[in-house]
Amino acid sequence: MKKCFCGADKPFSACCGPIIKGHKADSAEKLMRSRYSAYVTHAIDYLIETTHPSKRLGLDRKEIEEWAKTNVWQKLEIVSSGEYVVEFKAHFKDRNGRNQLHLEKPRFIFEKWDLSYQDCECVV
């Protein structure tokens, strides 16, 4: 069995796939994992939809899509996970083939029964 892109021990079709297609994530960690898988699968609309409405205005769809497509996503590592905060490391190779590490500690909020990515406290 091939693991989901997010590193969970189940296939994408039983892990992040259904969340990206509309099933609600029931925890901040599951939403974080599905957002990572959305970068891997270039599900840009999902990334925008799961960003808190107060932060969407500043998003550039083409920029998000370019970043998702020009990097080779290698793995997601959850450093710590709580009810509303997930610290993670996203390992990837940039367009020049150099290993990169994106370390972030975003906050998530529940709004109208939906969980969304609100913002981040950048760690590195």
pTM: 0.88
The domain made up of 12-122 is a member of CATH 3.10.450.50: yes
Instruction: Enter the tokens of residue 80.
Output: 């710590």
Q: What is residue 110's predicted lDDT score, i.e. its pLDDT?
A: 74
Q: What is residue 121's predicted lDDT score, i.e. its pLDDT?
A: 40
What are the domain boundaries of the chain? 12-122
Q: What is residue 2's predicted lDDT score, i.e. its pLDDT?
A: 81
Q: Which of 118, 96, 1, 100 is nearest to 50 (CA)?
A: 118
pLDDT tens for each residue of the chain, 124 residues long? 689 999 999 999 999 999 999 998 889 999 999 999 999 999 999 999 988 888 888 899 999 999 999 999 999 999 999 988 999 999 999 999 999 999 999 888 776 545 555 554 433 2
Pairwise CA distance, residues 39 & 46, whole Å: 9
Residue recorded with tokens 């021990």: 9
Q: What is residue 120's predicted lDDT score, i.e. its pLDDT?
A: 46
Instruction: Enter the tokens of residue 116.
Output: 């969304």
Instruction: Enter the tokens of residue 42.
Output: 């270039």
Residue by residue, DSSP assigns 16-59 as HHHHHTTPPPSSHHHHHHHHHHHHHHT-HHHHHHTB-HHHHTT-
* DSSP symbol at 95: T
